[in-house]
Amino acid sequence: MADPQPGSRAEQRRRTEDRILDAAAQSFFAVGYERTTIRAVASAAGVDAGLVMHYFGSKQDLFRRVIDAAPVPESAAEPGQAAEEILAGLAGRLAAAPVASLTILRSMLTNPEAADAVRAGASRYIANLAQAIPTEDADLRAAVINAVLLGVTLSRHLLRSDALADADPQQIVDLLRPGIVALADLPKANPSTERKS
């Protein structure tokens, strides 16, 4: 699809939608799903609340568009790289609390509409990650990796689990490395199968 011509109605609409999405993202990240209002988003974007509803339909649809606009990590080019890319990303999230992500996760835990939108975003990440895993059960492996990353991040930053909250991020990554590598890379022979033969 071609970009709209500068100054055209389509271009003006795209710019207005972008302003609304930017204002919505800032609000959702700052105060969460439940405390974000369409009026506050409209005011921050410099538009009427009716225009926000006209373009996006509902607060849930607006939230879903914000989640959909979030960048999804690229899948690794080769097997073996995926695990290290995953662990490097986790190290960054453990070193500094990902404030925006944590606000979204809090919203997900308390609001079913937010949970639906976050689930859709997580599905994109899982599907992208699965492309880098060279096994028949890549989707399941990617989902397990996502669950582990989510659990560790929530436990460290939201639950403030003592040992996990105080641990050096590199130590956590080093502990997780064998499991993530086993899930993301070419599988070795299954020990339970070898014992049966």
Domain architecture of the chain: domains with CATH: 9-69 (1.10.10.60), 81-189 (no CATH)
- What is the three-class DSSP state of 63? helix
- To 10 degrees, the CA torsion angle through 76, 79, 80, 84? 20
pLDDT, tens digit only, all 197 positions of the chain: 556 666 788 889 999 999 999 999 899 888 888 899 999 999 999 999 999 999 999 998 999 888 877 765 555 546 567 788 889 888 988 888 777 777 877 888 888 888 888 888 888 889 988 988 888 999 999 999 999 998 998 889 888 888 998 999 999 999 999 999 999 876 554 444 444 44
Statement: the pTM of the whole predicted model exceeds 0.75: no
List Cα–Cα distances, 85 to 12, 34, 74, 108, 193, in angstroms: 39, 33, 9, 25, 30
Whether residue 122 contacts residue 153, with contact meaning beta carbons closer than 8 Å, is answered with: no
Contacts of residue 117, defined as CB under 8 A and 6 or more positions apart, other chains included, come to 60, 63, 64, 67
